């Protein structure tokens, strides 16, 4: 996160409290990054509002630019601004969708997580991060190279935030239930599965000097375990990875980052593998 030099903050003019801006102000103050404020709107003129917000930030010593844009839909507008302004992080307030609407249409924030070629921080709370818990959610059972790199990135970003807020780092990973028919004998016994996951976790335990109480490995679906551990630890922010899914599989399956959004009361930072970011850049160039 220290490498982020410019942050895009999505301003929602319908909200009286700008949660995304409050969070961006904290982060920018610590990592000394510039801010670009964006309102996605093509009807009313919100330039006076943007000017006022920018003036307040500049009075605090922040370097700020702003714009009001609309490029067909919310996701495309945010991505267009992110790329034009060269922002390395997007911060947006997350408002839970109506369950019926979510069942019929892909929520805007899900689309943003899938297609934005930059990390996205979705803000759920106004609570201060300072001295709080930071939860890194990884899948320790996935051993391909792409996921290993993504896991390293997730835990590294979580550790950066932990240092930034003088907080406590936690790690969570869900493992599957045992199956007698599993080809790998390890996955036939619960104890062996748990031991395998703990062995995988030791890389991070040793690197970040974590205690047993900071590592949460348990059986069950990740989209159930992650919110439970987030509540237990009082996590201020959960850092998680996502993979882009399109078409029918994306509509039916979604992924863990999307599913847990409305179950978490805390902020969520969502990251993608580097090769996925490169592929998204290629698609957007076309």
What token pair was written down for 186? Answer: 């390890």
Query: In the chain, what is the straight-line distance between the N-terminal and C-terminal CA atoms, in Å?
Result: 28
- DSSP for 217-242, please give it: EEES-HHHHHHHHHHHHTEEEEEEE-
Structural domain contains residue 127: no
Give the end of a domain, one of 93, 124, 144: 93
Same domain (yes/no): 168, 48: no
CA separation for the pair 222, 137 (Å, rounded) = 9
Structural domain contains residue 215: yes
Same domain (yes/no): 178, 241: yes
Q: Pairing mode, if any, of strands 120-123 and 267-271?
A: antiparallel
Structural domain contains residue 108: no
What token pair was written down for 69? Answer: 């844009």
Which pLDDT belongs to residue 258? 84
Same domain (yes/no): 82, 140: no
User: Is residue 240 within 8 Å of residue 137, measured between CB atoms?
Assistant: yes
Same domain (yes/no): 185, 265: yes
Same domain (yes/no): 47, 155: no
CA separation for the pair 280, 162 (Å, rounded) = 29
Which pLDDT belongs to residue 88? 94
Which pLDDT belongs to residue 75? 95
CA separation for the pair 227, 174 (Å, rounded) = 12
For the chain (286 residues), the mean pLDDT of every run of 10, in chain order, is 88 94 93 96 93 95 96 95 96 80 72 90 92 94 74 93 95 79 55 83 95 92 93 96 55 66 91 62 54
Structural domain contains residue 99: no
Please give the residue range of the domain that contains residue 244.
133-285
Question: 79: which residues sit within 8 A by CB, 6+ positions away?
Answer: 112, 115, 116, 117, 284
Question: What CATH number corresponds to the domain at position 150?
Answer: 3.40.50.12370
Structural domain contains residue 1: no
Same domain (yes/no): 155, 248: yes
Number of domains in the chain: 2
Structural domain contains residue 104: no
Structural domain contains residue 114: no
Same domain (yes/no): 277, 151: yes
CA separation for the pair 241, 269 (Å, rounded) = 8
Which pLDDT belongs to residue 253? 40
């Amino acid at each position: 996160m220290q490498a982020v030099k410019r942050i895009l903050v999505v301003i929602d003019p319908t909200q009286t409290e700008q949660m995304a801006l409050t969070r961006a102000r904290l982060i920018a103050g610590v990592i000394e990054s510039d801010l670009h404020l964006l309102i996605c709107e093509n009807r009313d003129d919100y330039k006076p509002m943007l000017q006022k917000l920018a003036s307040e930030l500049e009075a605090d010593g922040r370097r700020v630019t702003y714009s009001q844009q609309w490029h067909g839909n919310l996701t495309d507008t945010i991505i267009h601004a992110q790329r034009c302004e060269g922002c390395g992080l997007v911060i947006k307030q997350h408002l839970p969708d109506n369950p019926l609407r979510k069942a019929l249409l892909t929520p805007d924030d899900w689309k943003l997580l899938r297609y934005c070629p930059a990390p996205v921080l979705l803000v759920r709370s106004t609570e201060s991060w300072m001295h709080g818990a930071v939860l890194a959610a990884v899948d320790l059972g996935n051993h391909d190279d792409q996921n290993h790199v993504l896991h390293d990135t997730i835990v590294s970003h979580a550790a950066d935030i932990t240092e930034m807020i003088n907080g406590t780092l936690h790690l969570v990973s869900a493992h599957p239930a045992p199956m007698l028919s599993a080809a790998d004998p390890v996955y036939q016994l619960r104890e062996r599965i748990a031991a395998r996951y703990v062995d995988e976790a030791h890389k991070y335990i040793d690197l970040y000097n974590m205690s047993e109480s900071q590592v949460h490995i348990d059986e069950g679906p990740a989209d159930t375990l992650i919110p439970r551990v987030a509540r237990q630890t009082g996590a201020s922010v959960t850092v998680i990875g996502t993979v882009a899914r399109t078409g029918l599989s994306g509509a039916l399956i979604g992924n863990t980052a999307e599913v847990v959004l409305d179950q978490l009361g805390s902020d969520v930072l969502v990251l993608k593998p580097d090769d996925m970011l490169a592929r998204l850049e290629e698609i957007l160039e076309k």
